[in-house]
Amino acid sequence: MTTKRLTVIGAVCTAAALALAGCSSETSTPSSADSSSTSEATAGAADRGPITFAMGKNDTDKLQPVIEKWNADHPDEQVTLKELAGEADAQRETLVQSLQAGSSDYDVMALDVIWTADFAANQYLAPLEGDLAVDTSGLLPATVESATYQGTLYALPQNTNGQLLFRNTDLVTDAPANWKELAESCQGLSEDCLTLQLKQYEGLTVNTTNFINGWGGSVLDDSEAPAVETDQAKEGIQALVDGYADGTIAKGSTSATEEETNLAFTEGKTAYAVNWPYMYTNAKEAGINFEVTPLVAKDGTGVSTLGGYNNGINVNSKHKATARDFIEFIINEDNQASFADNSFPPVLASIYEDATLVEKYPYLPALKESLENAKPRPVSPFYTAISKAIQDNTYAAITAGKSVDDTTKDMAAAISQAAK
């Protein structure tokens, strides 16, 4: 099949590449949705024609072949790629400025999973219902949850990500079944036990949320009110604090991002590391003997936090029918397999059972299990403020002796204040 040359429009903004999908700038104030706005959002669903697809430039290389295949088969519905800045805050600012102006410049937008609720609450996205409905039954459930706001699907998951527990098998032979076994397995080691990201940035939010969820708690309840003062949430945070205090969690974790974690593991300085799948190739190339498993928690398999992108349709798009078909095209089996082949974790569950891919990427079964047990970060239009509340208070508990009771009390107060 002859492919047409892909048109790429230069980025409006430039910034440093983002290591962890999930950091974003200030959250705008949502407005309430009503039946008339839903009707307006789905207007144009029958209209077809050329569309523009906006995405941060860090990962557009995975989408370019997909767009080329689409364009070869749809001469009257060409997709033009609009590359945004590599840094998440700049991406979001560009999109929000355009959407607030009522522009239709971007028909489809690749949204960091933590933006979906914010964009939906502000009525920037056409709900995927009626003529725009898409079948999500084959997708990993947690990814669909991340694209759903107040019971309505507002975007279609494109790719995902989940954390894994990397274990140096020269230091620890057997995989731990739970958190207690992990801690016990490190007794007598001269190397660090576990390295993860506790520096005061989005990585701290992710890991704190892992502990809260892994001990049976949650950050928000079903009404989007703070739930961090429950016994389960407190127990999870206490396990994190105690793990750092007793040395199970390496002291260097409070200054570690994903890259410092990667270096500690690939240099053989830590028995375990929690990181994203990209570290698999690095560890192999470093000659480390290792295995990957899902995270562990109080009673067994842990709860990873999701990363990735959801594709939303601009409420002002004049060609919503084409936009809907394009985002559905992205999740077909061939395109999702190409994602897996480029270390871009797919959202289509069946890909993780492809024998050829599993042989090539042995971490896929563990990643699938991780994703099946995963939860999105709090789905809220006020996510940025929620993340800051988690970071500020957890860091004080870990490094400054703040009690867990005070930590969760202040965290809950800050989350409540953010929603006012």
Query: What is residue 89's predicted lDDT score, i.e. its pLDDT?
Result: 84
Tens-of-pLDDT digits for all 420 residues of the chain?
333 334 333 433 333 333 344 333 344 444 444 444 445 555 555 689 999 999 999 899 999 999 999 999 999 999 999 999 988 889 999 999 999 999 999 999 999 999 999 999 999 999 999 999 999 999 999 999 999 999 999 999 999 999 999 999 999 999 999 999 999 999 999 999 999 999 999 999 999 999 999 999 999 998 889 999 999 999 999 999 999 999 999 999 999 999 999 999 999 999 999 999 989 999 999 999 999 999 999 999 999 999 999 999 999 999 999 999 999 999 999 999 999 998 899 999 999 999 999 999 999 999 999 999 999 988 899 999 999 999 999 999 999 999 999 999 999 999 999 887
Catalogue all structural domains in the chain, each as residue range(s) with its CATH number.
Answer: 8-161+307-372 (3.40.190.10), 164-305+382-418 (3.40.190.10)
Q: Which of 15, 361, 351, 377 is nearest to 202 (CA)?
A: 377
pLDDT at 41: 54
pTM of the full structure: 0.83
Cβ atoms < 10 Å from Cβ of 291: 17
Which residues are paired to 231 by β-bridges? none
pLDDT for the residue 200: 95
As a whole number of angstroms, the distance between CA 304 and CA 211 comes to 9
Beta carbons within 8 Å of 48's beta carbon, 6+ residues apart = 76, 77, 319, 321, 322
Backbone angles phi, psi at 392, to 5 degrees: -60, -45
